[in-house]
Structure 1
Amino acid sequence: MPSLPQESIVTTTLPAQSAAPDRRTAPPDVRPDVPARRRVPLWLAIAATSLPMFMATLDNLVLTSALPVIQADLGSSVNQLSWFLNAYTLAFATFMLPAATLGDRIGRRRVMIGGVVLFTAASIGSALSTSSEALIVARAVQGLGAAAIMPLSLTLLAAAVPPAMRSAAIGIWGGISGLGVALGPVVGGAVVEGVSWQAIFWLNVPVALLALPLLLVAVEESRGTWQRLDLHGTLLLGGAVFLGIWGIVHGNDDGWTDPVVLGSLLTAAVLVPAYVLHARGRAHAVLPLRLFRSRGFSSANAIGLFFTLGMFGAVFLLSQYLQIVQGYSPLEAGVRTLPWTAAPMVVAPIAGALVPRVGFRPLLLTGLLLQMGSLIWLAWLAQDIAPYADFVPALAMAGVGMGLTFAPSATAVLDGLPETEFAIASSANSTIREFGVALGIALLVAVFEGNGGELTPWGYDGAIAPALLTGAAAVGVAVIAALFAPGRPRRTA
């Protein structure tokens, strides 16, 4: 990872002791007085915004290795086990856009701090849960807190660092985000085997106690343009996200023709165009349609959807493959995916530093083509039940490809947009990627089961390859979207 020079600093603005401007006539960031300046090390701003985000991404998959232990302890049903994961995902994806809107109004740092506090309180509630129902509720509240953390962390970081260092800083942020996803199953397996499943949630408490003072010291408060709340738009778009993900995660278990599943998906499909009609011509829409005029924003979101659909669905299947077919424990399987899932921590900062020099498109195309090729390679290896050593080069190839995709796509989302719209743009991208993760797992599992696949040592024969090739096809769609990505970054409006 490229080191940041110690002399790199972030200049933040402190409000003077004069009267605040009228919020009805000017954005809250605009102050008529001359601000005082203070100097904050760049690494401190990155740490302050990345640490809470790491905590939120870690908990997205941290329970996957602990589910059998929790089932034995709480007597949970199979449906309740799925809701330990789905409650978090649903709340996380549904409320990111409303959290960004709230941050624009009352302060992004303030809302993010509130998210950290809520997330930590829900973590304590999860650790103290003595029933499946209590744990599901606590996980949903955790998702609410994470919804205020994930997109606003990128927004605050992008606004805090100098424009010349923004791509490199976002690269480091993307690497840490990928590390959180990568270490989720590993940390969960290690903690469960060494301590207990409750300790998974207690780990968040010291992280939060460190993150909160860092946010107060290293990050300046910021807001977006003052505007009216779009309650109707929030309900339409939030309802579409919630019902869409709910239908997707239940499709394989309840059947895609189940009336409730089918009704959820159809309603979500109707709510999306209803939101478009509602948002046309509305400057204060919860997701302004004008953002889609940006090539960077539109192409990065298309890439985010299909890239996460293909890759994270494949990660889910291969982690099960390593346990069921090759006989590794959950912790051992998590460690063996690290050539794939930990590589972005190294590659993403390098890719971020290269964005100003080579542009978005070459990095995105290279990264996505590497991932598509790796999935084809992994499909061939898994189908022939090759030894783990044969998987390592393909896994590393996938990890390098992900690292080359994370940072440029996260930077492209903000390319050319005014800083007042960073929070909304980042939240939209995070929501779409979370939707892609849920859809990818459901779709690849459906292809796996449709080809006769079962979660048994012999049940992967003839089923794992079609599923992974489906993931490769999804990444191929992302390759096409990358062809429309902008070349070099534009100056922020």
Structure 2
Amino acid sequence: MTHSTAGASRAPEHTHPAPHPRRWAALALVCTAQFMLILDVTVVNVALPDMAADLALGRTALTWVVTSYTLCFGGLMLLGGRLADALGARRALLAGLALFTAASLVTGLAGNAPVLLGGRIAQGVGAALLSPSALSLVTTTFHGGERTKALGVWAAIGGSGAAAGVLLGGALTDGPGWQWVFYVNVPVGLAVLAAIPAFVAARAPRPARLDVPGALLVTAGTGALIYGLVKAGDTGWADPATLLPLAGAAVAYALFAVVERTGRAPLMDLRMFTRRPVLAGAFLMLTATALLIAYFFLGSVYLQHVRGFGPLKTGLVFLPVAVATGLGAHLGSRLVGVIGSRTAAVAGMVVAAAGTVPLTRLSDTASVYGSLLPGFVIASLGIGAVFVTATTTALAMVEHREAGLASGVVNTFHEVGGSIGVAVVSTVAASGIERGTVGGFTDAFTICAVAAAVGAVVALALVPRGKPRMTGGPHVH
């Protein structure tokens, strides 16, 4: 766009507010807080068998240890963003971090399943309030080229958090005990809480309507969906105990659509799903996250229940998987601008499917390092590329003014995808998890391979052609 010289001489030049002198320290603090949230998605996976032994947890409870956190994190994230506007980002950040820290202490002290799951739910609620507030502070504190650098640091937190989670979870569980995967958040959370008022500038609240009914409906609907999927592993798919919650999920989602279409301040603009790039990005993010978190869940239980690995050894096995995911994301960010979103998405899904195929032939005697680990590494390499393609497709192929809305949709599907993936594979692998036999695990990995292959076919039809143009819109992880 060009402007006339005369017009330019009369118009005042747009200037950003003076940069905050402690903005880089503020970035370090909010990234530390975000790092804890991402860590808690994967850190518990390695500790699951020890939790089960100490608290007498069955398969269903183990599944909810993972899914309850990501369910509340994803289901309430958009509401958390609205609360950040209404309360002020710093105030919302402090409230979310305080809740997350307190919930971590409660979860570590849990002596039974209800307290453990209640703590995980509270952690998810705190995360849903903290994460969008922290991102809002990053985008308003930095401007121009500095904002690009700051968002790059923010994005790197996702991959490093997942990698650190599996290793830290194994080290803590093998050392002081599984409780410390939660206790470790407490001193860090308290230190960040104490430092934030001195380093993070307060922003004035903005008037914002809160769509509480919409947030509760989408969270309840997803919770009912996960409950039905998990219940199917105990009672079968045709049992009323499975069908009723699945039907309840459908009703809740339908009511959510009505509320969003008729409400004065909808939580989610459903018209975004008429934008093909956003729909494609949401699908890719849901599928990729479901696969990756399912791999962590299945692999951890298989290695410790079937193969007798300890927590630290299990964490070390998963470290190359987490690194491969980050490497795949790096390669995907390069390739998507060269070969286009559709080709990158399809290629990533095909690689994920190919890597999963060897996992469908696991045994209780074959070498873990010759069969399971190479398959996981190859699959996660493809999934990492799909993550980047999902984000760039949704944010870079829509109008700049819609990038924030698209980001909220994709990030919601990121967290919810992990919950659904774990619920499905837990049900399919029910016999293997409960009896420590390999059969259920191979069935679950077969489902993962099929899902990745179907994802490739859907991506071929759904993802738009062309190369994305980056808008610089925000993204959570």
| 2:126 counterpart of 1:145 | yes
Cα distance per residue 1:280-324 (max 9 Å; x no partner): 365621111233344432221111112223333233223333334
* Separation in structure 1 between the aligned mates of residue 393 and residue 304 of structure 2, nearest angstrom: 37
Task: Work out whether residues 74 and 412 of structure 2, in 8 Å CA contact, stay in contact via their aligned partners in 1.
Answer: yes
For 1:118, give the aligned amino acid. Answer: L
Partner of 2:165: 184
Task: Work out whether residues 123 and 204 of structure 1, in 8 Å CA contact, stay in contact via their aligned partners in 2.
Answer: yes
Task: Work out whether residues 310 and 470 of structure 1, in 8 Å CA contact, stay in contact via their aligned partners in 2.
Answer: no
Task: Work out whether residues 171 and 315 of structure 2, in 8 Å CA contact, stay in contact via their aligned partners in 1.
Answer: no
Partner of 1:342: 323
Partner of 1:376: 357
Match 1:114 to one of 90, 95, 111:
95
Task: Work out whether residues 99 and 148 of structure 1, in 8 Å CA contact, stay in contact via their aligned partners in 2.
Answer: yes
Instruction: Determine helix, strand or coil for the equivalent of 2:44.
Output: coil
The alpha carbon displacement at 1:216 in A equals 5.2
Scaled by the length of structure 1, what TM-score is found? 0.77
Task: Work out whether residues 342 and 460 of structure 2, in 8 Å CA contact, stay in contact via their aligned partners in 1.
Answer: no
Match 1:431 to one of 403, 412, 430:
412
| 2:477 counterpart of 1:489 | no
| 2:468 counterpart of 1:479 | no
Instruction: Determine helix, strand or coil for the equivalent of 2:45.
Output: coil
CA gap of 1:166–1:262, structure 2 versus 1, over 3 A, is farther
Identity %: 30
* Separation in structure 1 between the aligned mates of residue 198 and residue 327 of structure 2, nearest angstrom: 27
| 2:16 counterpart of 1:53 | no
Task: Work out whether residues 42 and 296 of structure 2, in 8 Å CA contact, stay in contact via their aligned partners in 1.
Answer: no
CA gap of 1:121–1:278, structure 2 versus 1, over 3 A, is closer
The alpha carbon displacement at 1:168 in A equals 6.8
The alpha carbon displacement at 1:118 in A equals 0.8
For 2:18, give the aligned amino acid. Answer: R
The alpha carbon displacement at 1:374 in A equals 1.6
Partner of 2:228: 247
Task: Work out whether residues 102 and 111 of structure 1, in 8 Å CA contact, stay in contact via their aligned partners in 2.
Answer: yes
Show structure 1 runs of 5+ residues with no match.
Answer: 1-32
Partner of 1:195: 176
Match 2:217 to one of 225, 236, 255:
236
CA gap of 1:36–1:315, structure 2 versus 1, over 3 A, is closer
* Separation in structure 2 between the aligned mates of residue 359 and residue 167 of structure 1, nearest angstrom: 22
* Separation in structure 1 between the aligned mates of residue 185 and residue 169 of structure 2, nearest angstrom: 12
For residues 126-145 of structure 1, the aligned pairs below 5 Å read 126-145=107-126
Task: Work out whether residues 449 and 463 of structure 1, in 8 Å CA contact, stay in contact via their aligned partners in 2.
Answer: no
Match 1:101 to one of 55, 79, 82:
82
Instruction: Determine helix, strand or coil for the equivalent of 2:469.
Output: coil
Instruction: Determine helix, strand or coil for the equivalent of 1:241.
Output: helix
Instruction: Determine helix, strand or coil for the equivalent of 1:401.
Output: helix
Instruction: Determine helix, strand or coil for the equivalent of 2:265.
Output: coil
* Separation in structure 2 between the aligned mates of residue 151 and residue 491 of structure 1, nearest angstrom: 19
Equivalent pairs, count: 459
For residues 171-320 of structure 1, the aligned pairs below 5 Å read 172-212=153-193, 226-280=207-261, 284-320=265-301
* Separation in structure 2 between the aligned mates of residue 419 and residue 108 of structure 1, nearest angstrom: 21
* Separation in structure 1 between the aligned mates of residue 170 and residue 308 of structure 2, nearest angstrom: 15
Instruction: Determine helix, strand or coil for the equivalent of 2:300.
Output: helix
Cα distance per residue 1:171-219 (max 9 Å; x no partner): 5544422332344343223212211233222211232245446755666
The alpha carbon displacement at 1:471 in A equals 3.6
The alpha carbon displacement at 1:346 in A equals 4.6
The alpha carbon displacement at 1:482 in A equals 6.2
CA gap of 1:104–1:69, structure 2 versus 1, over 3 A, is same
Task: Work out whether residues 75 and 412 of structure 2, in 8 Å CA contact, stay in contact via their aligned partners in 1.
Answer: yes
* Separation in structure 2 between the aligned mates of residue 239 and residue 363 of structure 1, nearest angstrom: 34
| 2:371 counterpart of 1:400 | no
* Separation in structure 1 between the aligned mates of residue 315 and residue 190 of structure 2, nearest angstrom: 28
CA gap of 1:76–1:379, structure 2 versus 1, over 3 A, is closer
* Separation in structure 2 between the aligned mates of residue 477 and residue 170 of structure 1, nearest angstrom: 32
| 2:439 counterpart of 1:459 | yes
For 1:148, give the aligned amino acid. Answer: L
* Separation in structure 2 between the aligned mates of residue 442 and residue 129 of structure 1, nearest angstrom: 23
For 1:435, give the aligned amino acid. Answer: V
Instruction: Determine helix, strand or coil for the equivalent of 1:65.
Output: helix
CA gap of 1:79–1:246, structure 2 versus 1, over 3 A, is closer
* Separation in structure 2 between the aligned mates of residue 462 and residue 127 of structure 1, nearest angstrom: 32
Q: Which has the higher helix share?
A: 2
CA gap of 1:468–1:232, structure 2 versus 1, over 3 A, is closer
Task: Work out whether residues 174 and 310 of structure 2, in 8 Å CA contact, stay in contact via their aligned partners in 1.
Answer: no
Cα distance per residue 1:258-294 (max 9 Å; x no partner): 4343222112212223332333365621111233344
For 1:487, give the aligned amino acid. Answer: K
* Separation in structure 1 between the aligned mates of residue 100 and residue 39 of structure 2, nearest angstrom: 12
Instruction: Determine helix, strand or coil for the equivalent of 1:38.
Output: coil
For 2:159, give the aligned amino acid. Answer: G
For 1:62, give the aligned amino acid. Answer: V
Cα distance per residue 1:327-386 (max 9 Å; x no partner): 322321221122212233455356557767776455444433322222234435669945
Task: Work out whether residues 90 and 137 of structure 2, in 8 Å CA contact, stay in contact via their aligned partners in 1.
Answer: yes
CA gap of 1:234–1:393, structure 2 versus 1, over 3 A, is closer
The alpha carbon displacement at 1:56 in A equals 1.3
Instruction: Determine helix, strand or coil for the equivalent of 2:178.
Output: coil
* Separation in structure 2 between the aligned mates of residue 187 and residue 395 of structure 1, nearest angstrom: 19
* Separation in structure 2 between the aligned mates of residue 107 and residue 485 of structure 1, nearest angstrom: 40
Q: Does 99-108 or 162-171 show the bigger shift?
A: 162-171
CA gap of 1:161–1:286, structure 2 versus 1, over 3 A, is same
* Separation in structure 2 between the aligned mates of residue 471 and residue 55 of structure 1, nearest angstrom: 30
Q: Does 238-247 or 300-309 show the bigger shift?
A: 238-247
Task: Work out whether residues 95 and 147 of structure 1, in 8 Å CA contact, stay in contact via their aligned partners in 2.
Answer: yes
Match 1:331 to one of 287, 312, 316:
312
* Separation in structure 1 between the aligned mates of residue 263 and residue 403 of structure 2, nearest angstrom: 15
Cα distance per residue 1:416-467 (max 9 Å; x no partner): 4567973x544432332232222222323444459x9974355369636533
* Separation in structure 2 between the aligned mates of residue 141 and residue 279 of structure 1, nearest angstrom: 25
Scaled by the length of structure 2, what TM-score is found? 0.80
* Separation in structure 2 between the aligned mates of residue 169 and residue 74 of structure 1, nearest angstrom: 42
The alpha carbon displacement at 1:86 in A equals 4.3
Q: Does 332-341 or 101-110 show the bigger shift?
A: 101-110
Instruction: Determine helix, strand or coil for the equivalent of 1:63.
Output: helix
